[in-house]
Amino acid sequence: MRVIIVKNAEEMGKKAANLIAEEMKEKTSFILSLATGSTPLPLYKDFIKRNKAGEMDFSTVITFNLDEYVGLDPAHNQSYRYFMNKNLFDHINILKKNTHVPNGMAEDIDASCKEYEKMIDEIGGIDYQVLGIGGNGHIGFNEPGSSIGSLTRVKTLTDETISDNARFFEKKEDVPTQAITMGIGTIMKTKKVVLLASGANKADTVKAALEGPITSMCPASALQLHRFATYVITEDCAAKLTLNYETV
């Protein structure tokens, strides 16, 4: 596991963009899996800057988002489809038809989850996975207790996650209680992973994920078994780590 400690969130975005851009250069078609939440925003800003400067071309990139709330229409301003359009896709030269977000409105949700997983497999798998981390160690919406081998499916959100995400909704009761998420097993199949975390409030979570035991109670700890997982984290977020890591 590679851990890179950077000064601040802007540097975190830049470093992660560098890692992904390097990899993109090597491929004619690139399969990228993306996360939502506030943490990856500096990365998406950096992607937009590079794309506008002609340094990064997204015209042949295909994306698969990690997750989506069940019951939110893509046009809802808290849906993850809306988030991705607003914060990234609307500002880069990606083809919208090449961007995939799980369908939280599907009539047969289980079938649509299976179909999502199949699409990823049939395209040859994900080249680079971007992850954030929830306060309880979740990745995507794989809440504590999620099977480490799990594939795309519906998960019921924990009270902690509902409270954490309530800040984006008018009131806590508006937060959907279920979400579709790529599984931990889906994430483990990806070729490379970069997990981003910033801020002192994630220091305990990152410590548990990186230096604690591998356990379904801290879903991000499963990345200890991934062959190409990199954490890019800010100094304040790394404050509780005890081993020596790369500092840039």
Which residues bind to ligand GLP, rule: CB under 6 A? 35-39, 66-67, 132-134, 140-141, 161, 165
Query: What is the rounded distance in angstroms from the CA atom of residue 244 to the CA atom of residue 189?
Result: 28
Active site residue 143: yes
Q: Which of 68, 87, 117, 138 is catalytic?
A: 138
* Smallest separation (angstroms) from ligand GLP to the CB of 90: 20
Query: What is the rounded distance in angstroms from the CA atom of residue 213 to the CA atom of residue 185?
Result: 18
Active site residue 22: no
Active site residue 100: no
* Smallest separation (angstroms) from ligand GLP to the CB of 248: 21
Closer residue to ligand GLP, CB minimum distance, 27 or 172: 172
Q: Which of 11, 67, 117, 164 is catalytic?
A: 67
* Smallest separation (angstroms) from ligand GLP to the CB of 233: 12
Active site residue 67: yes
Residues 6+ apart with CB under 8 A from 7: 234, 235
Closer residue to ligand GLP, CB minimum distance, 124 or 195: 195
Alpha helix segments (H runs only) across the chain: 9-25, 41-52, 80-87, 109-122, 159-165, 184-189, 203-211
Query: What is the rounded distance in angstroms from the CA atom of residue 207 to the CA atom of residue 239?
Result: 9
Closer residue to ligand GLP, CB minimum distance, 104 or 134: 134
Closest-CA residue to 165 (of 138, 126, 192, 134): 134
* Smallest separation (angstroms) from ligand GLP to the CB of 55: 25
Query: What is the rounded distance in angstroms from the CA atom of residue 54 to the CA atom of residue 52?
Result: 5
Instruction: Supply the residues annotated as catalytic.
Output: 67, 136, 138, 143
